[in-house]
Structure formats: structure tokens, C-alpha cells
Structure 1
Amino acid sequence: MGSSDPATPAFLQLAAHPLRWRLLAELGQGDLRVRELMERVGEPQNLVSYHLRQLRRGGLVSAGRSSFDGRDSYYHLDLERCASALTGVGTALHPALAREPVFGGYRAPVLFTCTGNSARSLIAESLLRHRTGGRVEVTSAGSHPKRAVSGNAVRVLRERYGVDVAGRRPQHLNTVQDRSFGYVISLCDKVREAQPAFPGDPELVHWSIPEPTGYPAFVRTAAEIDTRIRHLLPVLDTREDSS
């Protein structure tokens, strides 16, 4: 057909290995530690660590130290880069395969947790509500709630996303622990180890996001959370349930 054979896209070369694909799929559900990945894929540490290094070199996976145990690390899948790579793969095969998804209904409710409920979890709650136009029931809480919402959280939501959370008060996990949630998403490593069990067997997801300090850090943190929120939407989409 063509004058030369097309090169296999780099993403396919990297992700085509069965174990690397399984690691990507597990990390697609949330941030995990090496021992958790070992349990999920049923492979020894040396093999899991080797393929994680390959994925990190390819820019698909990153690692960050746990704020709960500094000797440990959480691995994170860069969904934005994966989405871009997959779009490139589709375009390389046929231009019509590059298209944007459209979402409709959402599973509810969702709970976001962090330690103080003054920044990360509140930002996540606000952005999910904003991105879905209020069509998802969402709340947030903290294991050790602070007395007031961070001024930088109020500022970044107002200036960057047009969301007003002035007057909000952090709330304790105890106030929501008897409620049923479809998803409970922790945003800090400490609260993941301390949050209570919730009724209804919710899906537990972890996003390992360091606590921001200073407004520039809040801008970066809000952007990262917003990216994760946008990639969470198809997971929450309910239209597939009605088919």
C-alpha cells in the first residue's frame, strides 16, 4: 500500500508486554505501592520493579515518596500522557479513530478524603461537582479536619476554575462514615491508613498527592486533581449500565 512500512508507535512497543500492560491497568485504578502491585499481578518484586523502571523511562509512570512512610513510594500512572499516546496510536492507524468521548450520567455518590479537609479533598469535591454540573453526589471529609478551609484553596478554585467555596467548613470523617458511597477516594497517604470502613462495599481508590504549601503549589495541585477528575468521569459514566 505505502512506500514504506509504518513504525510501531512507541506506546505500543512499551505497553504490549503482558506484565507491563497489567501494571498499567492496575495503576489506572489508583496509585499503588510495589508490594500492592506484586499482590495484584502475582509476580516477584524484582520482576515488577524491572518493568516499572521501563514504564518510568517511557514517561508513562512516575513515583513519589509516601508522606505516611518516607521509606515507601507510590507509583502513579500519567493518564494525560497515556491519553495523548493512545490518541496518537489511533490517528496513526486511521484519522477517524481520534475522537473525544462524551459522557452522560454518573454513578453516585463519591467521597474524597484527606487529613485536614481544607485543601486537597475539598478541591477534588468542588472540581468533580463543577465538571459534572452537579449531576453527581459528592462530598469530602478529613481524619483530622482543620478549623477553616485554606485561603489558597479558596483562591485557586475561584481564580482558576470559577468555583466559590468561601464559607465552607472542613468536616470530620465521623460525620459521613455511616453513609454508603460508590467510590471513596483518598488524596493523602496518611488518611489512607486511618480512614474508617464504609458500608456498601465502596470502590477504594488512592491518589497520592502531597500537601501543597504556597499558592504556586496549590495551582499545580489543583491542576493535577482536575486532570484526575477528568479521567475519572468515564469511570463514573453510567450509560454502559443501561445497554
Structure 2
Amino acid sequence: MMDATLHDAVAFFRLLADPVRCAILMKLARSDERVSELSNIVRQPRENVAAALADLESAGLVTSRISDVGAGERYYQLNLDQLQQRYASAGMMIHPTLGQAIAAAEEETAPRAKPRILFLCTHNSARSQMAEGLLREFSHRAIDVFSAGSQPGEVHPLAIETMDSMRVDIRGQRSKHYEEFLDQHFDYVITVCDRARETCPVFPGLKESIHWSIPDPAAVEDEAERRRAFHQTATQLANRIRYLQILIERERRDQAATR
């Protein structure tokens, strides 16, 4: 009878072996998308994409949430923690040092021009401000990072408090309108709320536009729940930003190798 760990590894590799599911995972690793968008990206009928998403959700590799903008629309997002756990476990089944070799390869860096990243949300008060602070801290300022909004207000006190608990100081940040940045070059523009995605302006020369469908923690009415929501949002942003750094560094290495 097959060992349970081996069975899980086989099931994981079987999921990845399907071209549609694999293509969806690759896209969701970068940006949250709706079914219609995924259908266009992977060039498959909506029903095929919906079936693939159902398989991935059943396996815990993908989650979804209702859009803050379109009624009945859902954004699908990669469950990074679950994917990393399943990937590490399956890799160890092949060779015990595989996970270590992958980790070591991701840590290799070379001095190159700094990437420029802009986080956008509506009020530039919570999600985008925390994302800016986290990426600046995680990258040790090796990435030029900014944030802005379509209706800027003030940095939310709970955003500052939550970042303090993670030893990230965002007191020097301010809310800004995205118009301040329209004449600047960015490699990546990342919208962290659904409304911002719908109104995001065009930035010439942009390498990639990315969307993370993250609910607004400031919109939670109960005070205790609001504090929890801020910490959950910060944790989600931290996980996604760490993975984004891996993707960016991998692309930079690939580009350097082709020169």
C-alpha cells in the first residue's frame, strides 16, 4: 500500500502535470485574476478554467474572494503557504537536499540596477502603505518602492501600529495621489485593492501590472476585529512580497544570463 507522504507527493505532481492547472498556478503566482481573465491568458474556455480552479481549490492551492467592485465576480489567488509546503514535501521525496539546493539558488544575487515598484490602492492609507514599508524593509532598500492612491487621505494609525509590531517604521511615509508618479518609470505597478485596479492609470514602459485582491482592513467596523484584520493583511502582504522578491530576482538573473 502506498505511503501517505508518497501519496500526497504523487497527487501534487499530478495536479501540476495538467497544462491548464499549471498555467493557472503560474499566472496566480504573480497576480490575482478573475475567471474571464484566466480564460484569455491560458486560451481555454471558461468551463475548462473553472474546472481547473475547482481542482486547485479542492487541493488547497488556490483560494478566492468576491470582488469589491463587480457584483458576483471572484478574484482567485494562490495560497502561497500551502504551495510552498506541498512543494517542499514533494521535493524531499525525490532527494532530501533538493529543498536546500533550491533555497541556496534563490539567495544568489548580483549587483544590478534597482527595480522600481509602485503599490496602488484607493486611499493610500493602509494596504499600500504597509506594502511599501514591508518591501523596503525586506529588500534592505535594494528596491526603490513607492505607494499612492486615487483618493489619498492619511496614513491609518493602525497601519503604523501594525507595522511597529513587525519592526517596520512607516511614520515617515505620507499619502500621495498617483498623479505624482505618472511621469516616472516603474518596472512593476501592484494594485492591492479591486477599485484601484479598475482605475489604475497607464504607466509607459511598465514591465508588468500585478493585482492582489486584498480586502480593506480599515473598513471593518468592530474595533477588535479591525485590529485583527490589519494584522492579517500585514501577514498576507508580507508573504506575497517575499515571494515577489524571489520572482523578481529570478527574472533579473535570467536577463543577466542572456546578455
Displacement of 1:50: 1.1
2:199 is aligned, of 191, 194, 199, to: 194
Asked if structure 1 preserves the Cα contact closer than 8 Å seen for 2:30 and 2:244, the reply is no
Counterpart amino acid of residue 256 in structure 2: S
Q: Look up the SS of the partner of 1:9 in the other structure.
A: helix
> Aligned residue for 1:22?
23
Q: Deviations over 1:153-175 (max 9, x none)?
A: 0000011x211122432000111
2:168 partner letter? V
Q: Which runs of 5+ in 1 are unaligned?
A: none
The DSSP-based 3-state class of the residue aligned with 1:26 is helix
In structure 1, the residue corresponding to 2:230 is in which secondary structure? helix
Q: Kindly indicate whether the alpha-carbon contact (under 8 Å) linking 2:122 and 2:193 is maintained by their aligned counterparts in 1.
A: yes
For residues 76-122 of structure 1, the C-alpha deviation after alignment (integer angstroms, 9 at most, x for no partner) is 01122111111111100010101123153575100000001111011
Q: If each structure's helix is expressed as a fraction of its own residues, which one has the higher value?
A: 2
Q: Do the aligned residues in 1 keep the contact of 2:134 with 2:238 (CA within 8 Å)?
A: yes
- Matched residue, 2:238: 226
1:179, CA displacement in angstroms? 0.6
Change (3 A) 1:103 1:149: farther
Q: How does 1:50-65 map to 2 (within 5 A)?
A: 50-65=51-66
The letter of the residue matching 1:80 is: D
**Pairwise CA distance, 1:231:** 0.2
Q: How does 1:61-72 map to 2 (within 5 A)?
A: 61-72=62-73
- Residue identity matched to 2:244: L
Match of 2:223 in 1: none
Structure 2 CA distance, aligned partners of 1:103 and 1:86? 20
Shift in alpha-carbon separation, 1:173–1:51, aligned structure 2, 3 A:
same
| Other-structure match for 1:117 | 124
Amino acid at match of 1:61: V
Instruction: Give the Cα–Cα distance (whole angstroms) in 2 for the partners of residues 42 and 98 of structure 1.
Output: 33
Amino acid of the structure 1 residue aligned with 2:234: A
1:13 aligned residue: 14
Structure 2 residue 160 is matched with structure 1 residue 154: yes
Aligned equivalents of 2:205, 2:178: Cα separation in 1: 16
- Preserved contact between residue 189 and residue 206 of structure 2 (Cα < 8 Å): no
| Paired residue secondary structure (2:182) | coil
In the TM superposition, residue 10 of structure 1 has moved relative to its aligned partner by 2.3
Structure 2 unpaired stretches of 5+: 221-225
* Number of residue equivalences: 239
The TM-score with structure 1 as length reference comes to 0.93
Within 5 Å, give how 1:193-212 maps onto structure 2: 193-212=198-217
Give, as a single letter, the amino acid of the residue that structure 1 aligns with 2:158.
Answer: N
Deviation at 1:241, TM superposition (A): 2.8
Structure 1 distance, partners of 2:126, 2:49, is 34
SS in 1 for 2:107: coil
Q: Does 1:77 align with 2:78?
A: yes
Letter in 2 for 1:168: Q
Q: When the two structures are superposed, what TM-score results if normalisation uses the length of structure 2?
A: 0.87
Q: Establish whether residue 130 from structure 1 lines up as the match of residue 137 from structure 2.
A: yes
CA 82–4 in structure 1, closer or farther in 2 if over 3 Å, else same: closer
Shift of 1:240: 3.3
